[in-house]
Structure 1
């Protein structure tokens, strides 16, 4: 196996991640560095993390020693470019329904001639040592979210788009679109189950199969279905649960 092949293999399994909605960089650094393999700042449904400059949060994740991703608010080149200019290692792009939308997302994440990203990564704290465009294009990850019935129907073609490094499932939106309970969607282990179709498409094209779990229990089911990049928990829920467990334990003594 060549070095390139080894890198590609590693990129196909990113392990367990943290979903970031907290906007305190100290908390983000502490939680991201607690043993997770990566962390993703949520600019779409991340509460206070949406609609702000998240360079500090991206820097906090990277300071914790793990890759930093950003789920942008929508599939728009200026949002994708801003996240990458801020130092993100990759983007998660929501609500991608077909090939043209996937191509647009992938193009926005790469410089010319491969894509349409404008060079100017000056918002990152690493701006003094910016990677050359060719290296940046090779290292960035662009994951597109399949969250609708139309996207699921086109998942084989979406996963095959040049520059798409993975398909990331939002099971809550997908369950709504398919008229299913989210628990039933995630637990379905049948050969033709919707989530299994996504995994097969990713494997066939050698790209990441990602998904949001939101709980340790759902994360285990998603891993069993073949997903290789799983957002196990979100930081605020994790902190609240940990605080509750600590308070209960202290009172019990």
Structure 2
């Protein structure tokens, strides 16, 4: 089976640099994949990407060594299984708030006897290899998003679920949950404290930790803190920022 470079990089003591895809285009996904990102996440939760567009984007990413990841819309078995069947090598699931939620996430993303994932890796075997069914449980990376006050209350119970590989922090939703400004980087003190607490507990449970960032210097600082997976920049934001830079250079503003 094709290696999952997320696991390879982590085993080598390196952090994964992840990009974000919100534009429903296989060509823009291909362009992004050729820039050297360790992984790219197709966002089905908040972007404008539907399932068919996602499949084309995963195919485009597979022209490179970049690892294809999908953030599913919700903790729903069909969405998780179809993302994996399409060839995602990692899934990020939002709003995991309880131990039961985490148990469901692990079950939906693993074949029996470790889970309840239905068998039908239609494209996954093309991407992963003929032995995908035998190796998928140990190759796929499953992230649970920690982004609510309820998840914080149940943090250790969530992190103790066997088969969960990693957590992913959404600073904006976490900020809103704690009554603070919804930002990625310059978070308010209660959010910073929560981020540090989540990271420490994830490490104590032997899980990898990821977080969303807006700027490279913040992502670097969070890697120095101990984060294993840092997202910085989406295709849509990079397109807007690049356009603004060109126009400001031309118009002198």
Paired position in structure 1 for 2:177: 177
Paired position in structure 1 for 2:44: 43
d(CA) in 2 for partners of 1:220, 1:134: 36
d(CA) in 1 for partners of 2:46, 2:196: 25
Unpaired runs of 5+ residues, structure 2, are 1-6
Paired position in structure 1 for 2:34: 33
Paired position in structure 2 for 1:219: 219
**1:32 shift after superposition:** 2.4
Paired position in structure 2 for 1:87: 87
Q: Please state if 1:10 is matched with 2:11.
A: yes
d(CA) in 2 for partners of 1:202, 1:140: 19
Deviations 1:90-120 (A, max 9, x none): 1000000011100100111110000111111
Which moves more between the two structures, 179-188 or 140-149? 179-188
**1:51 shift after superposition:** 5.2
**1:248 shift after superposition:** 3.6
| Matching of residues 46-61 of structure 1 within 5 Å | 46-47=47-48, 49-50=49-50, 52-61=52-61
Q: TM-score, normalised by structure 1?
A: 0.86
d(CA) in 2 for partners of 1:32, 1:184: 23
Paired position in structure 2 for 1:3: none
d(CA) in 2 for partners of 1:75, 1:131: 27
Q: Please state if 1:202 is matched with 2:220.
A: no
| Alpha carbons of structure 1 residues 128 and 201: separation in structure 2 relative to 1, 3 Å | closer
**1:171 shift after superposition:** 0.9
Paired position in structure 2 for 1:166: 166
Does the 8 Å contact 1:12/1:206 carry over to 2?
A: no
**1:201 shift after superposition:** 1.4
d(CA) in 1 for partners of 2:165, 2:184: 27
Aligned Cα RMSD in Å? Answer: 2.7
d(CA) in 2 for partners of 1:235, 1:245: 15
Which moves more between the two structures, 112-121 or 241-250? 241-250
d(CA) in 2 for partners of 1:221, 1:9: 17
| Matching of residues 71-150 of structure 1 within 5 Å | 71-124=71-124, 126=126, 129-150=129-150
Q: TM-score, normalised by structure 2?
A: 0.86
**1:186 shift after superposition:** 5.2
